[in-house]
Chains A and B, each alone.
Chain A
Amino acid sequence: MVLRNGKDSPVDTLAALGVRDIASLNVEVLKYSPPDEQQNALVYSRVNQVLAERIRRTELECTHITGEMRALADPHHRQVCRKNWQSHKRRIELVCYLPKRYRGKGRDVWRWNRRNWQHTDWQNQLDAYDLLGNGEVRLFALDNREPIHYSVFFDRFVLLQSKHSPPSHTKRVWLLESVQLTKILREKAENIVSRAERVSPRLFRELCLSLSSPLALDCLFIANDKGAVKEKWLCSRLKRFTKPPYNFLEDLIAVKFIKRSNDNIVITEAGKGYLNLLANN
């Protein structure tokens, strides 16, 4: 299919990525979405379908160049990543914009993600962190946001997004098929990966372990029983088991399973939801 210029065409966005002579690349538009979140979701769903079908036969080589790593907020895409690892021991690479001050601890990344993953609940976010903590996705961080976001899959598929800026995230999205275009964009993606900083899976692993540690659970159960519990009393109880600082308390607060209210620790609805999840078989 010959691509033409026009508001629905990816030509301008590809040109902004430095792709020249687009007409010769034999690009086919498999699916398109105008700037509408629900329609965008249909394109992502089609992408995940294509990936899931192909992963049955062959390993997925995939690099995402993203803004706020929202590909991981999609549970279907996380399933694809897991399947790729389980079947082929192959990791997906994802580059995101993550300011340095948020790279110190898992709870810092959590706070950053909360600003940009408005439609994602704590359960989905924690599942994404489990995926990252297992190292099944390699995460890379940039100091600045890439202007154009795209993903390359296998040797022939590109998911392209028109330029957009948070907080709106409204954009045009195309699923494209072209071996030549995929090759060009994969090289560009590899350059971006090479100048990004690898984020260790440990950040996410430690947060998951912190939230599930016996002492964190103990604090949640006690706060759930009592409604509100004096923080001083809780800390004096914890001294039996370990010395301060009690970083798991800060982690519970960051993910909003508990909150500070005057001198008290109070469990939140999310915290109660977490305890309910533990109780289910």
Chain B
Amino acid sequence: MRTKKSPVVLKWQEKFRRDLAHLHHGTRQQLEAAVGRKQSLTIWLGGPGRAHRLYNKRVLIKQLLEAEGFNVIISEEYKSKINLASKEILEYASVDMVIILSITPGASGEALDFAHVRDRHEKLFIYYPEEYKRGYVYQSLYGHHRIVDEKRIFSLKKFKRGTSDLPMKVLYDAMNFLIWQKIAPKLRRR
């Protein structure tokens, strides 16, 4: 389901384009080479649910990724007769990248559930608010499961204000995923 592009998303895209212009032309070439693969990458985007005031920000990030050519799924947009947790486990298996904005109790629950199964770690990307780093969930995700990387910590305060920090992290990670997908097969050619 694609929605009309918001001015916020346009602003984020402009920021991304300005950043790209400052990169070395070799880096831009690698990004462009990865561009053709975007449609083959499906991203599952978890985060604040419909009832939460930050749900619209999650949708904006979805719009940004779609505007840059990725396929994005938000589970709430697809009805199912089975319970939400079981539905999401099934969806997890069918996508390439699972992104969770671990902002709310529900999203943190998802992150912990998925983190418990180490066989699923390779596609799981958890973004965590710096404001909650002292809490149980972060200690578990970072210290025990080792699934949160420092580069995916963001300021929730700034995110609420609509800054581009978190959306850029997510977009760069998606691009990075594509670049690696292009490099990996070359390692096997001798």
Contact = CB atoms under 8 A, between A and B. Distances in A.
B155 to A, nearest CB: 10
A134 interface: yes
Contacts of B25: 221
Interface string B166-187: 0000001101110110011011
B119 A206 contact: no
B149 A214 contact: no
Given A127-B187, A242-B151, A247-B151, A213 B24 contact: no
Interface in A202-229: 202-203, 205-206, 208-209, 212-214, 217-218, 221-222, 224-225
A75 interface: yes
A189 B120 CA distance: 24
B26 A275 contact: yes
Interface string B64-105: 000000000000000000000000000000000000000000
A277 B186 contact: yes
Contacts of B149: 202, 206
A127 B147 contact: no
A213 B174 CA distance: 10
Contacts of B180: 208-209, 212
Contacts of A224: 26
A53 B180 CA distance: 30
A210 to B, nearest CB: 9
Contacts of A7: none
Contact of B179 (A214, A225, A247, A277): A214
A247 B172 CA distance: 15
A214 B118 contact: no
Interface string A237-263: 000111001010000000000000000
Interface residues of A, number: 39
B187 A205 contact: no
Interface string B1-43: 0000000000000000001001111110011000000000000
Nearest to A246: B151
Contacts of A212: 176, 179-180, 183
Contacts of A135: 118-122
Interface in B136-164: 145-147, 149-151
B119 A214 contact: no
Chain A interface SS verdict (over half): helix
Contacts, number: 95
Contact-residue bracket for chain B: 20 to 34
A278 B26 CA distance: 10
Contacts of A225: 24
A278 B176 CA distance: 14
A123 B190 CA distance: 10
Contact of B183 (A206, A247, A277): A277
A134 B187 CA distance: 14
A280 B179 CA distance: 14
B95 to A, nearest CB: 15
Interface in A191-211: 198, 200-203, 205-206, 208-209
Contacts of A67: none
A277 B150 CA distance: 29
A149 B24 CA distance: 48
A240 B18 CA distance: 10
B121 A201 contact: yes
Contact of B145 (A200, A208, A214, A241): A200
A138 B186 contact: no
Given A200-B145, A214-B31, A75 B179 contact: no
In the A-B complex, list the 4 residue pairs whose CB atoms are closest, starting with the nearest: A221-B26, A127-B187, A221-B24, A201-B122
